[in-house]
Amino acid sequence: MKMLLVVKQKDIEPDYIEEPNVEYRDRFAARAVLKDGDGRIAVLFARARGYYKLPGGGVEQGEDMSLALARELLEEVGAEAEISGEVGRVEEWRILQDGALHQISDAFLMQVTGDIGEPDFTEKELADGFEVYWANDIDEAIQRVSQTLNHNDVEVRFMSLREKTILEAAKDLM
């Protein structure tokens, strides 16, 4: 998997002073640049916090990456899809309220293979006001996620930079 970006807390919060001996927990994730038959790109809009993100999420211990991504797409978009290519990897080194996180996100180009049903959002996603938004094309998807690069929420800034980087790399492959 090609490395697209490594982003650290100081890249998001320039005034952050790194503490020595921080122990990071690893989290692996899969992300999809999901295209439908009309060339639209799926992004998720979190209405409560006002940001867009790519579908995908955590890979559970022992779970195959492609199976995890298929599960996430069914849950978050209501779509079955197949991988058509690799986009690349983004590593995030984040400081959270409950500890430090080293998140490794592998991103894939994916194509919807059947009918699109209803998502099955988690309680947290429902509380965040998640909804599926179909951007007309990759440029609109990039524009949507880029809107929150300067969001007041540090976590949203991390996500926005990750998603923008993935979408720009995907555009070069399409």
The fraction of the chain above a pLDDT of 90, given in percent, is 86
Fold of the domain built from segment(s) 3-9+24-114+122-173: Nucleoside Triphosphate Pyrophosphohydrolase (3.90.79)
Treating both helix axes as pointing N-terminal to C-terminal, what angle do 154-173 and 138-146 enclose, rounded to 10 degrees? Answer: 160
- Contact between 112 and 79 (Cβ < 8 Å): yes
Query: pLDDT at residue 44 above 90?
Result: yes
Q: Which of the 8 DSSP states describes residue 60?
A: P
pTM: 0.95
How far is the C-alpha of 60 from the C-alpha of 143, rounded, in Å?
Answer: 31
**Regarding beta strands 99-116 and 24-35, do their DSSP bridges make them parallel or antiparallel, or are they unpaired?**
parallel
Model pLDDT for residues 88-137, shown as the tens digit of each residue = 999 999 998 888 999 999 999 999 998 999 999 999 999 999 999 999 99
The β-bridge partners of 44 are: 53, 132
Of the chain, the percentage scoring pLDDT greater than 70 comes to 100
Instruction: Answer for the pair 174, 34: CB distance below 8 angstroms, yes or no.
Output: no
Burial-class residue 28 by CB neighbours within 10 Å (0-12, 13-18, 19+): middle
